[in-house]
Amino acid sequence: MRVLGIDCGGEYTGYGVVEMQPEEKLCCLACGAIKLSLREPMPLRLSRIYVQLGKIISTYRPDEVAIEDVFYALNVKSALKLGQVRGVAMLAAATSSLAVSEYSPLTIKSSVVGYGRAEKQQVQAMVTRLLRLPSVPEPMDASDALAIAICHLHTTATLNRQRAVAR
């Protein structure tokens, strides 16, 4: 299974494509971030995210997409902008007929680090280790996106094992 993880943000939108290979070996196929200019109007930024995610989907052909679920924000304006970016990410996936799964930050950290309140640097270190990468993925948004993809792959594998036992 191949998953595109997306870490939505107004300035950087991280992406990571991870594949679960035989014997449950994780492999990073791509990661990075879509850098946006805060000086550009929001509609143009959203369009850039949509187009870039479309190219990533077309190039890597993921089976599914995973994104971080909405969390509570102190700043309402920031929360609304984040919601717009999430909507565009979902639209890019839906346009390519891909299922989208959403995970809370707590679930993602628990899945990758084993502790839901882990620091970002701990997540980054575990992503590097789990994917056997030569260096830490940069920027932080890219490692977050990889963590989201890993979380989805772990969750799917667990659910598949549970279904197999139930039969």
Which residue type does 44 have? L
pLDDT value for 78: 82
Taking the model in full, what pTM does it have? 0.95
List of domains in the chain: 2-166 (3.30.420.10)
Model pLDDT for residues 90-137, shown as the tens digit of each residue: 999 999 999 999 999 999 999 999 998 899 999 999 999 999 999 999
Average pLDDT over residues 26-42: 96
Among the options 64, 68, 69, 144, which is catalytic?
Answer: 68
Query: Distance (Å, rounded) from C-alpha 150 to C-alpha 130?
Result: 9
Q: Is the pLDDT of residue 10 over 90?
A: no
Q: Is 69 a catalytic residue?
A: no
Q: Is the pLDDT of residue 73 over 80?
A: no
Q: Is 141 a catalytic residue?
A: yes
What residues form DSSP beta bridges with 100?
65
Q: Is 144 a catalytic residue?
A: no
Q: Tokens at residue 124, please?
A: 């980054």
The continuous run of DSSP H or E covering 147 comes out as: helix 140-166
Among the options 24, 63, 69, 141, which is catalytic?
Answer: 141
